[in-house]
Structure 1
């Protein structure tokens, strides 16, 4: 995002499954179960807002308004699909899940406003059903827009199926005559500076990510010289070459 923002693009984040009880590193366990959903969801919203502030503070004044977030206020998988938290990565996308249409409606709205010139979506590595649901909902837009798939972390670094999942995704794209190829995005910082910055940003989500996971997520960028690898379609190359 920093790469695109400093290149004077506007970035709009669709924050999808934000109604949640998942905050394992917080004090939510002491909250009455009737209040847990609202308590955790509000806590996670504050973390999202802090993340935005931290990104914006490094931007020139004239670019700070180029980053926006829209909250879709949808329930995450343990609530929406009634699956245990340890089964989130073993649950397939439900074609009857109403969140699919709600995500597509939000993306269509952005398109109608003329604000969506490209789309970035999760690769779905590690089979997290929420990530896969977002990917499934957004896939129709990749046919007509420059599209990039980001490598889900920490799954890309830790989940045993992640590399096979990535191969499946890229093979499927090739099968529809729109091969995905990799690009590396850099912020302009040195590799060491980029990794330190990424770790600080990740640890803003203190209710969900502990120090150990923060290290895993940020250090994965060492594979790319401190950058981020994306898998992009042909339209991305022709639009942003």
Structure 2
């Protein structure tokens, strides 16, 4: 995001499954069951807002208003699908899930407003059902827009099947005539500085991510000298060839 923002693009984050009871590193366990959903959802919203402020801190004054977040306020997998936490990566996408259409409507609205010239979606490595659902919802737009898939962490670093999942995505894209190419983006920082900064940003989500997971997620950037690897289609490569 810092790469795009410093290149003077506008970035809109579509925050999808934000109604949740998942906050294992918080005090949510002491909240009455009837209040847990609203308590955790509000806590996670504050973390999102803090994340935005921290990202904007490093931007020049004239670019701070180029980063936005749109909250769809949808229920996450454990609530929406009644799936236990330990089954989230073993649950397939439900084609009848109303969330898919709601995500598509939000994307279509951004397109109508002229605010969606390119799209970044989860690669869904690790097969976490919410990530898969977002990817499924974005497929119709990816067919006509510059699109890149980001590598889901910590799954790519920790899940034994993650590399196979990534290869399956690439194989499917090639079969559909839209092969994906690896693109590494940097924010102009030294490797160590980029990793430290990413760790600080990740640990803003203190209710969901502990120090160990934060180290895994941020440390993975060392594989790309502090950058982030995306898997981009040909329109993306053409559109952003000079960046």
TM-score (norm 1): 1.00
Deviation of the 1:118 alpha carbon:
0.1
Deviation of the 1:236 alpha carbon:
0.3
Give 5+ residue unaligned stretches, structure 1: none
Other-structure match for 2:63: 63
Which stretches of structure 1, 4 residues or more, deviate above 4 A after TM superposition?
none
Other-structure match for 2:36: 36
Deviation of the 1:177 alpha carbon:
1.2
Deviation of the 1:240 alpha carbon:
0.7
Other-structure match for 1:132: 132
How far apart, in 2, do the equivalents of 1:238 and 1:229 lie? Answer: 17
Deviation of the 1:205 alpha carbon:
0.1
Residues 208-237 of structure 1, C-alpha deviation per residue, up to 9 Å, x if partnerless? 000000000000001000000000000001
Deviation of the 1:90 alpha carbon:
0.5
Other-structure match for 1:103: 103
Deviation of the 1:178 alpha carbon:
1.0
Corresponding residue SS for 1:236: helix
Other-structure match for 1:220: 220
Corresponding residue SS for 1:70: strand
How far apart, in 2, do the equivalents of 1:234 and 1:191 lie? Answer: 28
Corresponding residue SS for 1:34: helix
Other-structure match for 2:186: 186
Deviation of the 1:93 alpha carbon:
0.2
How far apart, in 2, do the equivalents of 1:132 and 1:167 lie? Answer: 15
Residues 38-59 of structure 1, C-alpha deviation per residue, up to 9 Å, x if partnerless? 0000000000000000000110
Aligned residues: 241
Matches within 5 A, 1:145-224: 145-224=145-224
Residues 76-110 of structure 1, C-alpha deviation per residue, up to 9 Å, x if partnerless? 00000001011011100001100000000000000
How far apart, in 2, do the equivalents of 1:67 and 1:25 lie? Answer: 28
Corresponding residue SS for 2:164: helix
Deviation of the 1:176 alpha carbon:
1.1
Deviation of the 1:160 alpha carbon:
1.0
Give 5+ residue unaligned stretches, structure 2: none
How far apart, in 2, do the equivalents of 1:151 and 1:110 lie? Answer: 23
